[in-house]
Homo-oligomer: A and B are copies of this chain.
Amino acid sequence: MNSSHLGLQINAERFRANFDGLLRMRDGARRWFLETAKQAGLETRVDGAGNHSGLLRCGPSGAPVLLLGSHLDSVPHGGRFDGALGVTAALEVLQTVQDHGVPLNTHLEAIDFTDEEGHHVNFVGSLGLTGKLAPEHLQTPRGGRERFQDALRRAGLSEDSLFAAGRSAATLAGYLELHIEQGGLLAQREASIGIVTGIVGIRSFKVRFLGRADHAGTALMEHRLDAAQGASAFTLAVRETVMAEFPGCVATVGNMAFEPGVFNVVPRVVTVSAEFRADTEATLDEIEARLAQQASHAARRFALDLEIQPLDRTAPARMDDRVQEAYARACRTLGLRHTFLASGAGHDAQCLAPVCPTGMIFVPSVGGSSHSAREFTRWRDCVNGANVLLHAALTLTCI
Q: Which residue of B lies closest to A213 (CB)?
A: B372
Cα A393 to Cα B263 in complex, Å, equals: 36
Give the residues in chain B near A70, CB-CB below 8 Å.
Answer: none
Task: Contact check, A243 vs B262: say whether CB atoms are below 8 A apart.
Answer: no
Which residues in B have their C-beta under 8 angstroms from that of A235? 228-229, 231-232
Smallest Cβ-Cβ distance to A222: which chain B residue: B243
Cα separation A372 to B215 with both chains bound (whole Å): 10
CB-nearest residue of chain B relative to A344?
B217
In the complex, A328 has a CB within 8 A of chain B = no
Report the minimum CB–CB distance from A99 to chain B (whole Å).
35
Rounded to whole Å, the gap between the CB of A312 and the closest CB of chain B is 8
Instruction: Please tell me the size bucket of the interface on A.
Output: 35 or more
A40 within 8 A of B: no
**A254 within 8 Å of B (CB atoms):** yes
| Residues from chain B with Cβ under 8 Å of A91 in the complex | none
With most chain B CB atoms within 10 A of its CB, the pick from A218, A239, A261, A264 is A218
* Interface residue? A336 (CB, 8 A): no
Q: Pick from A54-62, A103-111, A167-175, A265-273 the stretch touching chain B.
A: A265-273
Which of A123-131, A179-187, A353-361 lies at the binding interface? Answer: A179-187
Name which residue of chain B comes closest to A254, CB basis.
B263
A217 vs B199: C-alpha distance in the bound complex, in angstroms?
Answer: 10
- Chain A residues with CB under 8 Å of chain B are 181-184, 200, 202, 204, 213, 215-223, 226, 228-229, 231-233, 235-236, 239, 242-243, 248, 250-256, 258, 261-267, 273-275, 277, 343-346, 368, 370-372
Complex Cα spacing A243 to B219, Å: 13
Copies of this chain present in the complex amount to 2
CA distance A341 to B254 in the complex (A): 43
Residues of B near A226 (CB, < 8 A) are 239, 252
Indicate if the CB atoms of A229 and B233 lie closer than 8 Å: no
Q: A215-B371, A252-B266, A262-B273 are in contact. List 5 more A-B contacts (CB 8 A).
A: A181-B218, A216-B252, A228-B254, A254-B263, A255-B267
The one of B221, B252, B256, B267 in contact with A254, judged by C-beta atoms closer than 8 angstroms, is B267
**Can you offer 24 A-B residue contacts whose CB atoms are under 8 A?**
A182-B217, A183-B215, A184-B220, A215-B345, A216-B275, A217-B250, A217-B345, A219-B250, A219-B344, A219-B368, A220-B248, A221-B251, A226-B252, A228-B253, A228-B256, A232-B233, A233-B236, A236-B236, A252-B266, A254-B261, A255-B267, A262-B273, A263-B275, A265-B371
Known A235-B232, A252-B263, A266-B254; contact A221-B243, beta-carbon cutoff 8 A: yes
Whether A275 contacts B267 in the complex (CB less than 8 A), given A218-B181, A233-B236, comes out as: no
Evaluate contact between B258 and A218: CB separation under 8 angstroms: no
* A255 adjacent to B263 (CB under 8 Å): yes
Tell whether, in the assembled complex, residue A218 and residue B262 are in contact, meaning their CB atoms are under 8 Å apart.
no
Q: B250 contacts A254, CB within 8 Å?
A: no
Min CB distance A233 to B, Å, is 6
Question: What B residues does A184 contact at CB under 8 A?
Answer: 220, 223
